[in-house]
Amino acid sequence: MCVALPGLAISTDQGQLTGQGLDGFYRAGRRMLSRCQIRVAGREPLALQAWMTTADCVRFVGTLRTSPHAGPDPDVVVERTRHANGTERITLRSAAVRPLRLPVEVALAADLADLGSIACGNAGPELPATVHDSGLRWSSDRGSSTVTADPPPTDALASAGLLRWEFELPPGGVAYIELRVRSDGVGPMRAVGRAATSPLPPARAAGDDPRVEALLRTSIDDLQGLLLRDPTHPSDTHLAAGAPWRCGMAPADALAAARMTLPLGTRLAAGTLRTLARTQLRDKGPQSGMIPGPRRDAGTHLPPGCTGTEATLLFPALLAEARRWGLPEPEVEELLPVAERCLSWLRTTVGEGSYLADPHPGGPVRCETQAHAHRAALLGADLLDTCGRSGGDELRHWAGELRAAFRTDFWIDDLGGGRPAAARTPDGRPVPHLGAAAAHLLDTGLLGGGELAPGLLDKVQTEQLARLLGAPAMDSGWGLRGLSAKEAGYNPFGHRSGAVRVHETAIAVAGLAAADYEKEASALLRGVLAAAEAFGHRLPDMYAGEARTEGSAPLPHPAACRPAATSAAAGVLLLTTLAGIRPDAPAGTVTLRPVRGAPLGEIVLTGLRVAGAPFSVRVSRLGLAMVEEAADGLQLRA
């Protein structure tokens, strides 16, 4: 899958676009070309290899024999380079010792179907073609598309959807064909992530483990491919949730991904915050201040959850942490009223109670929602105080009440040492199953001076949660299962009931490392790194929670997005967690709390951004961190 939104190109590793399944070139979710099949000298090339060169480009290599009596060696190499922007370059190379006359045919077709219809099997028939310029054109009430060729074909047959060429290749000769897929009246696709104004820097990783370089490079490349502009404010960029199924804005995912990529700078966070600020509900009664978002499946034991609640709580937390990483004060001041309305919604919705329940009547009180709310309150209070606004004390007081109540009401004692409840029903009964959502209890958030906010669990409970997350029932060997394998309803392919979700695994790794449970953090980290290698370092948002065994590989999930914003951003968080970077740009300081066990050996991270300037750090094999590049005046805090 090549991704440079709004463009996509999806194909199998054979290279031929057959019109089957999801094959095709897409623009903004519509399939502009469904079939592109090459025949050289009357035969299809034998596919040998396919590999991604970047997130938006894939290369296919095939061969064929034009001389049937010349032995087993091929004498023509056919290379296809396919780009998400709708361009494909076909290269024919002769390895023959005599001149070759090569007839080439390219069969093309389009249905102009939208991705959702294709996924449901309702793409509809291929449309009739007409000859247009140096190629073919298709049109319907859904729009139109054109394929042009350079050089122009010798022959174009609209009825058969064929373009034909005749090439004379000398020994060692090369011929090229370039195909361009376009919407009529629309120019070439301009991907946000490939522009000079991309908010993501080309950070790099190196070290003893060669996989770290590939993971960070691929993660950033995938993030670039998923970037979108706010159409009403083109200077503001944010991340689409993932390809191919979720190529639009998903507020909670966009905020979570922007937060995990803060080590790459604050520009993506700023664009995401400004884009979502324009969606905030006002004068809507009880919903005033919310960032709206869709409902999301919550697995076997709970009803779907409201991602709008999560987004509303993530907004002030991201703004507060972005300020610590170096978001300029004028931008903080611009966004502060939106964060205040989010926090006002939180205080109003909780009222005199201790917990934030689901927004729909009769909804549960979820464990992870309390973690998000607690973090928003403490980081929001810190933000309000440092910006000279009122309301911080009230938020801290409520957060303290929430901590005291949560440690009693949400903790289930059992013979195994206890566990946090996944939720409480409206009548106060605990929902006892153990899932990856509990990892959010470890994600407390960054305050000033490099300090982390207090968590909802006490020290003993945190230690027990670390033990549970590191046990085989939760740690599949490839990452954290969405639901413990010991729970009723466990399904290794379940979205929230057993599949490994990379985002929550990264949150667990970062939280465990910060709480000094490095054994459990290191095991989860190594598992995800091994899974990343199996997936070509392009992590899907989820994969099956089947246990890792000798010689096995992680099982893909058929409905996963790959690439996905949260999993690509998780690659950044996983590697930067090893260095434990905790900046306080307004105070001009940075604190390093590396993982002392150095689970991947020495690692060097270059091209990060702290306080608006390049930042590089080295973690030695002894777990000691050293700053190698930083902004002028930025002091290392002990």
Report pLDDT for 569: 98
Mean pLDDT of 273-284: 94
Percent of the chain residues topping a pLDDT of 90: 87
Question: Please, which pLDDT band fits residue 283 given cuts at 50, 70 and 90?
Answer: confident
0.85 exceeded by pTM: yes
- pLDDT at residue 638 in the model: 79
How far are the Cα atoms of 10, 71, 118, 577 from residue 514, in angstroms, in the given order?
A: 40, 63, 45, 8
- Going from the N-terminus, what domains does the chain have, and what CATH number goes with each? 2-188 (2.70.98.40), 204-629 (1.50.10.10)
Angle subtended by helix axes 565-577 and 251-260, to nearest 10? 20
Residue type, 41: A
d(CA 144, CA 127): 10
Q: What is the Cα–Cα distance from 637 to 632, expressed in whole angstroms?
A: 15
Q: What is the pLDDT of residues 619-630, one digit of tens each?
A: 999 999 999 999
| Phi and psi angles of residue 571, each rounded to the nearest 5 degrees, phi first | -60, -40
Average predicted confidence (pLDDT) for the chain: 94
Q: Is residue 107's pLDDT more than 60?
A: yes
Helix intervals (H) in 178-277: 211-225, 251-260, 267-277
More confidently predicted of 193 and 530: 530
Structure tokens at 42: 């009357």
Q: How many other CB atoms sit within 10 Å of the CB of residue 535?
A: 19
Q: Assess whether pLDDT exceeds 90 at residue 362.
A: no
The percent of residues in the chain predicted with pLDDT above 70, rounded, is 98
pLDDT of residue 188: 58
Nearest 5°: CA angle at 456, between 452 and 458? 90
* Per-residue pLDDT, 184: 74
Helix (H, G, I), strand (E, B) or coil at 319: helix
Q: What count of Cα atoms within 13 Å lies in the side-chain half-sphere of residue 24? A: 29
196 pLDDT more than 70: no
* DSSP 8-class letter at 359: S
pLDDT, tens digit, 9 for 90 and up, residues 128-187: 999 998 999 999 998 999 999 999 999 999 999 999 999 999 999 999 999 999 987 665
d(CA 441, CA 375): 9
- Structural contact between residues 552 and 240, judged by C-beta atoms closer than 8 angstroms: no
In the block, residue with structure tokens 């199924």: 245
H or E, element range at 521: helix 518-534
pLDDT in tens, 317-343: 999 999 999 999 999 999 999 999 999
DSSP 8-state symbol, 151: S
Q: What is the pLDDT of residues 451-465, one digit of tens each?
A: 999 999 999 999 999
Average pLDDT over residues 2-23: 94
